[in-house]
A and B are shown apart, each in its own frame.
Chain A
Amino acid sequence: MRYSALKILKEGLTGNKGWKPVWREPDPKPEYDVIIVGGGGHGLSTAYYLAKEFRGKNIAVLEKGWLGSGNIGRNTTIIRSNYLLEGNQPFYELSLKLWEGLEQDFNYNAMVSQRGILNLIHSDPQRDAFVRRGNAMRLSGADAEIFGREEIQKMCPFLDYENARFPIQGAIWQPRGGTVRHDAVAWGYARGADALGVDIIQNCEVTGFQIENGVCKGVETSKGAIRAKKVAVCVAGSSSRVMEKAGMRLPIESHVLQAFVTEGLKPVIPGVITFGAGHFYVSQSDKGGLVFGGDIDGYNTYAQRGNLPVVEDVCEGGMAIMPMIGRARLLRMWGGIMDMSMDGSPFIDKTHIDGLYFNGGWCYGGFKATPASGYCYAHLLATDTPHKTAEAYRLDRFRRGAPIDEKGQGAQPNLH
């Protein structure tokens, strides 16, 4: 069933009785060519591109809960391609290009909104760093502009420009950045994959791997054993827990990131604004709520809730840069578990076990990567070679002295 304006009109006039569930709920088959573990954004996009672009057949996605129950449904929906390093930037630019054509590609309204992203500058060295970053972005084919204070003032008159500690001197602006309706991304990919024959199996937890003579031949699940030629794990915050069942230790710690939404307001915030110096970023959802967040809590956790000191820190950041936020009432807050890697960058790689693949380490920035992560993972699964924009995302990069450390923090996950 394809969606179109005509279809909506027809259904509207006939009591909306013709809509059908957009994906099937099949029982697992005894064997698949490829099993994807984890039905988050990355798992579903991997299945979609594998079936669509690489003509994969006989594919299943196994999800322990319901689709969208993980970070794909918990993030603050920001997309951008504003990285500095060579290992990262071309990958994220590929992702942004895929976002730009996504809704037509999978015929689903994901509310991709390129409303722009503004990263504030408060000092000369920070300006130098952002100019350098902007140049790296443009070299990869992305867009970036450096703004002076006047240009920001026109766009965001409500910011506190004379903050004593962090006066606003300028910003780097990526007009093609923005936000996307996160749940719709999961649903759109799920529907697209299902239509291409992918079995999406919910409430099916992978509890172990069938590894025979160093080769992965399938998985154990809460719905019984399932054989597969290839098993592709992408379980985000659960990466260490799942890969431990294959005897692997990962360069990853799990941390919680909190997010906040206010009551709905009239449109006040034009794009996405980040105040990195004050650990605060904000955008406004199409429903009107101010969606904001800040730093991770900073300790290992699998509890999908954080602690109060970070709530205070984030709100202080908001009050410092945008005092008007103090008038808005907070409606909801929640946390999601992130796979923080040792250099702040992800992995899309084979493991040392034949037939077992790993995708993870997305930290707090994997939503924007959803299309490219799926595309490159599908490329790896189909061809057994990394996609050219994901060549740096190898599990052995620390051993080779080739980390991709955007912040230059070293092997300390809570600082990335």
Chain B
Amino acid sequence: MIIPHPLLGPRDAAEFVYKGDASLINRPDGMTASDDEMHDYAYLRDNPAGEHRELWYHEQGDRSWLVVTRNTMTHDITYVELARDVARASGRSR
């Protein structure tokens, strides 16, 4: 798989480390979240067949985190963003 990095252009997926579903960005506040919220965040996944937004870390590159939109049936990658931009757009400071 080739991941089109928004800053570096096309990069081999082997340069990256895979984390999982991009919803992991939205970690509940540990001080206020209920047990259920924390459990569901840490352990449950949608695991869809089809379009999946997911976190990849460019470990052997510029060490940025990316949110990659990829189809889990075909491995086609349709959209790539910096995870930082996704987090900020949802109101987080970084």
Contacts and interface: CB of A to CB of B under 8 A. Distances in A.
A180 interface: no
A412 B57 CA distance: 14
A302 B76 CA distance: 12
Contacts of B20: 253, 300, 412-414
Nearest to B49: A302
Contacts of B75: 301, 303, 307
Interface of A: 240-241, 244, 249-254, 298-303, 307, 309, 342, 398-399, 411-414
Interface string B44-80: 1111110010100000000000000010111100000
Smallest CB-CB A-B distances: 9 pairs: A240-B47, A309-B14, A249-B44, A398-B43, A251-B43, A302-B49, A299-B18, A301-B72, A342-B43
Contacts of B29: none
Contacts of B44: 249-251
14 contacts: A240-B47, A241-B48, A249-B40, A249-B46, A251-B45, A253-B47, A254-B72, A299-B18, A301-B72, A302-B72, A399-B35, A399-B39, A411-B43, A414-B18
B49 A241 contact: yes
A300 B47 contact: yes
Interface residues of B, number: 26
Contacts of A302: 49, 72-73
A171 B14 CA distance: 31
A291 B43 CA distance: 34
Interface of B: 1, 12-14, 18-21, 35, 39-40, 42-49, 52, 54, 70, 72-75
Contacts of B54: 299-300
B73 A303 contact: yes
Interface of B is mostly: mixed
A240 B45 contact: yes
Contacts of B70: 299
Contacts of A300: 20-21, 47, 52, 54, 72
B18 A252 contact: no
Nearest to A397: B43
A398 B48 CA distance: 21
Nearest to B12: A309
Nearest to A410: B42
A160 to B, nearest CB: 25
B52 to A, nearest CB: 6
A251 to B, nearest CB: 4
A52 B71 CA distance: 43
Most buried by A among B14, B21, B72: B72
A303 B73 CA distance: 5
A342 B20 CA distance: 12
A309 B13 CA distance: 9
